[in-house]
Amino acid sequence: MTGGAQRRAAAGRRAVELEVALWRAVAVYRALALAYAAALIAKNSGGYARPLGGWAVLAVMAAWTAWATFAFADPRRRGRPLLAADLAVAMGCLLATAWVESPEGIAAGRPTLPVSWVAAAVLSWAVRGGKRLGLTAAAVLGVGDLLIHVLAGTVGGLGDRTFNGIVLLLMAGLVVGHVVKLARDAEARLARAVELEAATRERERLARRIHDSVLQVLAMVKRRGGELGGEAAELGRLAGEQEAALRALIGASPPAAGAGHRDGARHGSWDGSWDDGAGRRDEQTDLRPLLTAHSAATVTVSTPATPVPLDAHAAHEIEAAVAAALDNVRRHGGDGVRAWVLVEDGDDEVTVSVRDDGPGIPEGRLEQAAADGRLGVAQSIRGRVRDLGGTVAIVTAPGEGTEIEMTVPRAPDRRRRS
């Protein structure tokens, strides 16, 4: 296993360890709260209207504590059914207070049967879904606190203790959910930083090997071809273009951690895929390195400083269309013709233009080429962009060069949001 793979595996283990630690903390709280509830039930059972009911509720709480500790330990079980069951059991034990406790005890503000044990359900929801789910569970149990007085007929005896309990549940759901989100975000940023470091080290290693071999050979071929002239000069020119393209490729930096963040949910990584923040990876490719690979002595590629993520298929189709345009420049422009590739990243679309300073395209030439079966522009450029739902505009005049502008819309769920 390479060093980069080891770092990524270590980051994955840290994420798993964070989840285990969070659920273990909930399990410990549930057990301690059960012990506290048992002590209060033992102390107050003599004043209950139905003392045996108090012990029955305690037995249910103990059984559920054991099962929940086991169930939540398995990530495959931490879904909606288990969370709903956890909240339902807590709600049932809470409402049982109205049946077990005497109306006088409820009116006097004596604690509910499960007391703080019900907060374990709030913590579970907060750990699973953040502060939004945590607040939802707290609100449900807060309603349960009020229903106790309705069922016992002691609505007029609502006191500060009831409202304090509801407020504490809401604060627990909010604070724990927020802290859990911060912890997970920090772990995700650390994982991306580790991945970026691994990618950078691998790129540096490959760059050193390429510089010591391929680039030196290409530079020598370029120099010697120019000295020999003739066909060797053409080989030297091609070697020089490939040297420039290769230098641009290995010199491009991988995206900074989080640089691929486009809509608050998706983060970039150097392997071309994108993470939406919930662990799902999307097939996205940064268009920039695909196009900068075409840089050469006569080709200048200008791209934004931040990644330009597109669907992998769309990105490669655009790159192929640009390659076809540059091939036309080389074939029909003549010696010394320069070309410029410009990428513009908009909110809803990406525009790539290829401009050259060649002789331009004579009027009717494209139509005649299509009629003769030469479909370089019609299919390799226009056809590809049309299949992506985009448009192609060609501006040319004799002696004024040619500009091909390709505009491709982003998919609705890929559009940038401010």
Question: Strand order in 281-282's β-sheet?
Answer: 267-268, 274-275, 281-282
Residue 12 lies in a domain: yes
Count of domains forming the chain: 2
Residue 405 lies in a domain: yes
The DSSP symbol for 264 reads: S
Does residue 138 contact residue 170 with C-beta atoms inside 8 Å?
Answer: yes
For residue 302, the cross-strand partners are 342
Q: How many degrees, rounded to 5, is the angle at CA 55 between CA 52 and CA 58?
A: 155
Burial bucket for residue 154 (CB in 10 Å: 0-12, 13-18, 19+): buried
pLDDT tens by residue, 19-37 = 888 899 999 999 999 999 9
DSSP string, 310-367: EEHHHHHHHHHHHHHHHHHHHHHH-TT--EEEEEEE-SSEEEEEEEE-S----TTHHH
Same structural domain, 168 and 33: yes
pLDDT band at residue 189 under the 50/70/90 scheme: confident
Residue 281 lies in a domain: no
Does residue 381 contact residue 343 with C-beta atoms inside 8 Å?
Answer: no
CA–CA separation, 245 and 159 (whole Å) = 76
Share of the chain above pLDDT 90, in %: 34
The DSSP symbol for 86 reads: H
Compare 61 and 232 and report the one with higher pLDDT. Answer: 61
C-alpha separations of 111 from 35, 56, 98, 116, 184 in Å: 15, 17, 11, 9, 35
Residue 248 lies in a domain: no
Backbone angles phi, psi at 138, to 5 degrees: -65, -40
Same structural domain, 171 and 297: no
Owning domain of residue 317: 289-418
Report whether pLDDT(99) > 70.
Answer: yes
Same structural domain, 170 and 299: no
pLDDT tens by residue, 272-302 = 444 433 343 447 889 999 998 888 888 899 9
pTM for the full predicted model? 0.51
Coil, strand or helix: which one is 302? strand
Residue 345 lies in a domain: yes
Report whether pLDDT(126) > 70.
Answer: yes
Last residue of a domain, one of 185, 201, 236: 185
pLDDT band at residue 221 under the 50/70/90 scheme: confident
Does residue 315 contact residue 307 with C-beta atoms inside 8 Å?
Answer: no
Residue 265 lies in a domain: no
Tokens 């840290």 belong to residue = 14
Q: For position 6, what pLDDT does the model report?
A: 61
Burial bucket for residue 284 (CB in 10 Å: 0-12, 13-18, 19+): buried
* Tokens representing residue 227 in the block: 């000295």
pLDDT (average), residues 152-175: 82
* Lowest mean per-residue pLDDT among 194-203, 207-216, 287-296: 207-216
Last residue of a domain, one of 170, 185, 200: 185
CA–CA separation, 299 and 33 (whole Å) = 70
pLDDT (average), residues 238-248: 76
Same structural domain, 57 and 174: yes
User: What is the number of H-type helices and E-type strands within the chain?
Assistant: 13, 10
CATH number at residue 377: 3.30.565.10
Compare 268 and 84 and report the one with higher pLDDT. Answer: 84
CA–CA separation, 157 and 408 (whole Å) = 67
Same structural domain, 171 and 295: no
Does residue 87 contact residue 140 with C-beta atoms inside 8 Å?
Answer: yes
Question: What do you get for the CA distance between the two ends of the chain, in Å?
Answer: 41
Residue 217 lies in a domain: no
pLDDT (average), residues 235-239: 82
* Tokens representing residue 24 in the block: 């273990």
* Lowest mean per-residue pLDDT among 74-83, 91-100, 203-212, 363-372: 363-372
For residue 407, the cross-strand partners are 351, 391
CA–CA separation, 26 and 33 (whole Å) = 10
Residue 242 lies in a domain: no
C-alpha separations of 55 from 25, 33, 38, 51, 101 in Å: 26, 16, 9, 7, 12
Compare 114 and 189 and report the one with higher pLDDT. Answer: 114
Last residue of a domain, one of 162, 185, 208: 185
